[in-house]
A and B are shown apart, each in its own frame.
Chain A
Amino acid sequence: MQTTASNPAASTLQIAFSLNGQAIDIAVDPRERLLDTLRYRLNLPGTKEGCGEGECGACTVTIDDLPANSCLVPTFQVRGCSVRTIESVPKAELGPMLAAGATQCGACTPGVVMTAHWIKQHSQVLESQTLRALMAGNLCRCTGYDGIIDGVRRWIGGPQ
């Protein structure tokens, strides 16, 4: 595969979408991943990059109310969509996660909270899958997952 040095920045694309409830109208380089746009253009660095390959889930956001790895989303694809990031999760709700020890180093945590928040809002998904299976897209290297799983259970008010 030959790469060219000149790196021609293709013409930018003007797109509009909703971000945490706010209308956004922005010119993006077609090469930008949603993760990059959020972190480096829109000053929302709460969304983390852990692997860039859709494995670790640290970059989890929701797009039209479904969790997605923002490292695998070209920004131009969210035109017309509703995107929510960790910055939209109410701090007041996170007490149970804190108390359970759901965060240690914190690098995976925003992604964990995004998935957990989505599960909380769609608790019917727990009818067909376990919490551990639903959280499997968020790799954590610190907690051994107990703190996270307990925290999500306490947060969504399920069995302790």
Chain B
Amino acid sequence: MQRLEGLSKLTGAERYLDDEPLEGPLKGCLWGMTVRSPVSRGKITRITYGAGFDWSQFVVVEPSDIPGPNETYLIENDQPVLAPGYVRHMHEAVVLIAHQDRNLLRRAVASVRVDVAPEPPALDFRLTPRPDQIQRGSDNLLKKLQIRKGNIERGFAQAHKIVEGEYETGAQEHVYIEPNAMSAWIEDGPTGDVVVVRGSMQCPYYVLNALKHALKRDESRVRVIQSPTGGGFGGKEDYPSTIALHCALLTLKARRPVKIVYDRSEDMAATTKRHPSLVRHRTAVDQNGKMLAQHIEVILDGGAYVTLSPVVLSRGIIHAAGPYTCENVLIEGKAVLTNSVPYGAFRGFGAPQTIFAVERHMDRIAAALNLDPLQVRRVNLLKDGDTTSTQQVIKGGTDRHALLDQTLHIANYDAHKREAEKFNRTHPYLRRGVGVATVLHGAGFTGNGEVYLNSKVDVAGRPDGSLEVLAASTEMGQGTNTVFTKIAADAAGYDIADVFVGTPDTFRVPNSGPTVASRTVMVVGKLVERAIDELARQVGQNGSPLRGPALKSAIQAWHRANPESELKGRATYQPPPDVKFDDKNYIGDAYATFAWGVCVAAVEVDLRTAAVRVLDFVAAQDIGKVINPVLATGQVQGGVVQAIGWALTEEMKFKDGGMHNNTLTNYIIPTSDDVPSIRVHFHENPYPHGGGGAKGVGELPMDGPAPAILNAVAHATGADPRAIPLTPERLLPLLR
């Protein structure tokens, strides 16, 4: 089955938010823009609106215009909608302005001067803050978490060797090609006016909750609709709540429709990034490389507000021990406040950072013991029946040793290695190497998250017998609509032409949870199947679910018997049996299941320039059942290339705590000419509790490439790189 909206995208017919004509609800639309903080921390002493503008012609929103609490609803609600007289990071939103003329608006916004009495910012999360940098509690900690298994002291006492290492990863910008865009207008509703917000987003109900909270409205008076979304990767998980609030505040004040479309440089400067991390490993091993104790410290830079850091940290620490089993584990995690833009969700959500550390560390353990890195992996790799750091018993029948061997075979690992070593003996300045990473990724929300979410999906049976899937899960390029159509058609015994997926609109679709965490196909897809069961039961006789033409006829008959009525089957999330997690002590089934993967990277390092080039890349994974091979392959290839960028070139540079290289000229993502063809292999092992037998696919591809590439660089050059992005400037001194 081909991507449903594919031709519409290929012909340019797909209408993203900024492509819409300013007609209908957008007639008379104003442009909205944001005045931002010029410094990282301090008290706003004065806001001066520039001379020479007729300010009566502009709509200006300040914090006093917010009807409810000046808070962005999320985990702790500590992030203001507009800086309340005090700024905590560069580019924080201070004032909103709208006008019909976009050029004049830009000039007006630039004319606004925000004076701030600066206070000392905390800018390096690795350092203990000075007293004058403390802004939260006594230590600037946003969150602290721990996983404890066995007794690490016992393991260290038995060690043949103790291997230590410190690993760092940098911030990463999402660079969805469609910048953030949002529109808002006011409609009449039965209980008063309704603020309608429509825009580019991953999670309509996050936006809805944020609007309800700060606008002090119930859900009958706020409506959120997703517009076609040009990429997200986590970057449109929580930030759209902020833009939606800004847009809604302007529209409420102006009583006119308002549209906010960020320029690329504003989007890069002001929106969330991947959390920078520092991970320390201290590992006790025996002669064979078997891990006897793992002591892991994970520190994430959380940025200026809590936002999603607690849950990113949670996923990060759970993945920190890698796809290995060890009897004695202590993982200590903390997320630290700094006066940077708040770090947020980004594909992998903390796991790529900690997996980078453990996978690089495995190679360093091998080097310390003079063992093959593959052997060290093999003796520690989880087998069914083994337990993870949270004491989750692994099951499901995936043979991770076989997956590793198969991947090495596909990748020509031995040949690559031999040829590289031969090549390196003769070439004056090029060095080749090959590296491996073995990875896992917990699918769905962590711990009891899915239970708390309590997601719901409706499937409507329409008068003509066709089906419409109603869910808040969004299409942002990853293929939700195509895959839901296929899952629903298969479950109902329908032709795909008779299945439709409704636009996420909080007036029409139930909350199926956020479109994140590789949960859409596995968790929500399963709900689609169950909602169809429920629908079929409603129209079937004796409660036996109908399928195919019989279902279609029964739906048509139901509508004839119940004219003007709605027919819907609803499914609500139920955890698979025996999945239990103690989220206080971090013990138990952290995820209902894991996806598994192996990456092999072959690289070439130019000793003249210290530039690293990926020559070949193989990504193999067990994601359960593959629903759509083209889409799933595209997810893996796209994730791998995004990870190659994170590993090698995507360096966020700071100036006074703000992003300095906030342009696509200076923030370097890979082009088609920078990457090889990414070879993808799926190892299918259907997961009974996932939609169509699938586990999550979206994030796993982000986990392995960075350590595989750095392991390959180490193999090629003998250097010991431990920080990414491994830019030439960073590698050069390591080669001396």
Q: Name A's B-contacting residues (CB within 8 A).
A: 3-7, 31, 39, 43, 45-53, 55-56, 58, 85-87, 89, 91, 94, 97-110, 113, 130-133, 135-149
Interface membership of chain B positions 620-631, coded 1 if the CB is closer than 8 angstroms to chain A and 0 otherwise: 000000000011
Is B178 touching A105 in the complex (CB atoms < 8 A)? yes
Q: Is the CB of A53 within 8 A of B663?
A: yes
Q: Which chain A residues border B231 with CB–CB below 8 Å? A: 104-105, 107, 141-142
B305 to chain A, nearest CB (A): 26
| CB within 8 Å of A: which B225-251 residues | 228-233
Of B46-54, B380-388, B519-527, B682-690, the stretch lying at the interface with chain A is B46-54
The chain A residue sitting closest to B9, CB to CB, is A106
B665 interfacial by beta-carbon distance below 8 Å: yes
* Chain A residues with CB under 8 A of B453: none
B561 touches A (CB below 8 Å): no
9 additional A-B pairs beyond A50-B177, A107-B178, A108-B177, beta carbons within 8 Å, are: A48-B16, A51-B264, A94-B11, A101-B634, A106-B230, A140-B672, A141-B638, A143-B637, A144-B675
Report the separation of the CA atoms of residues A141 and B476 in the bound assembly, to the nearest whole angstrom. 12
B664 within 8 Å of A (CB atoms)? yes
Q: Which of B162-180 contact A (CB under 8 A)?
A: 174-179
Partner of B103, one of A7, A43, A97, A106: A7
Q: Are B13 and A98 in contact (CB under 8 A)?
A: no
Task: Give the docked Cα–Cα distance between A30 and B110 (Å).
Answer: 22
Q: Tell whether, in the assembled complex, residue A56 and residue B177 are in contact, meaning their CB atoms are under 8 Å apart.
A: yes
Pick from B19, B20, B264: contact of A50, CB under 8 Å: B264
How many B residues have CB within 8 A of the partner chain?
Answer: 70
- What are the residues of chain B within 8 A of A139 when measuring CB–CB? 175, 177, 664, 669, 671
In the A-B complex, list the 7 residue pairs whose CB atoms are closest, starting with the nearest. Answer: A46-B12, A105-B477, A107-B230, A106-B9, A5-B52, A144-B637, A86-B12
Q: What would be 30 A-B contacts, judged by CB atoms less than 8 Å apart?
A: A5-B52, A5-B108, A5-B111, A39-B19, A46-B11, A47-B12, A50-B177, A51-B664, A52-B263, A55-B664, A87-B11, A91-B10, A94-B11, A98-B2, A99-B2, A105-B176, A105-B229, A107-B231, A109-B12, A132-B672, A132-B673, A135-B671, A135-B673, A138-B672, A140-B177, A141-B175, A142-B231, A143-B638, A145-B672, A147-B637
Chain B residues lying within 8 Å of A142, measured Cβ to Cβ, are 177, 231, 477-478, 634, 638
Tell me, in angstroms, the Cα distance from A130 to B9 when the chains sit together.
25
Task: Kindly state the separation between the CA atoms of A145 and B264 in the bound complex, as whole angstroms.
Answer: 21
Contact A101 B15 (CB under 8 A): no
Bound CA span A56–B669, Å? 10
Residues in A whose Cβ lies below 8 Å from that of B401: none
Which residues of chain A have C-beta atoms less than 8 A from B103's C-beta?
Answer: 7, 31
Of all chain B residues, which has the CB nearest A7? Answer: B104
B137 proximal to A (CB < 8 A): no
The reply to whether B675 and A103 contact each other, CB–CB distance below 8 Å, is no
Looking at B177, B630, B675, the one whose CB has the most chain A CB atoms below 10 A away is: B177
- Say if the beta carbon of B277 comes within 8 Å of chain A: no
Given A3-B107, A104-B638, A149-B672, are A144 and B678 neighbors across the interface (CB < 8 Å)?
A: yes
B14 within 8 A of A: yes
Given known A-B contacts A31-B103, A145-B641, A107 and B19 have beta carbons under 8 A apart: no
Q: Which residues of B contact A143 (CB under 8 A)?
A: 634, 637-638, 641
How far does the Cβ of B598 sit from chain A's closest Cβ, in whole Å?
Answer: 18
- Tell me if B677 is interfacial: C-beta within 8 Å of chain A: yes
Closest CB-CB distance, B53 to chain A, in whole Å? 5
Please pick, from B10, B107, B174, B640, the residue contacting A109 in the complex, using a CB distance under 8 A: B10
Find chain A residues with CB under 8 A from B672 CB: 131-133, 135-136, 138, 140, 145, 148-149
Asked whether, in the complex, the Cβ of A103 is within 8 Å of the Cβ of B638, the reply is no
Which residue of chain A has its CB nearest to the CB of B633? Answer: A101
Distance in angstroms from A52 CB to nearest chain B CB is 6
Bound-complex Cα distance A113 to B176 (A): 18
Kindly state whether residue B735 has any CB partner on chain A within 8 Å: no
* Chain A residues with CB under 8 A of B478: 104, 142
Please, how many angstroms separate the alpha-carbon atoms of A118 and B120 in the complex? 54
How far apart are the CA atoms of A131 and B228 in the complex, in Å?
29
Complex CA gap A16/B667 in Å reads 38
The distance in angstroms between the C-alpha atoms of A48 and B15, with both chains bound, is 10
- The CA-CA distance from A6 to B50 in the complex, in Å, is 12
How close is B666's CB to chain A, nearest CB, in angstroms?
9
CB distance from B277 to the nearest CB of A (A): 22
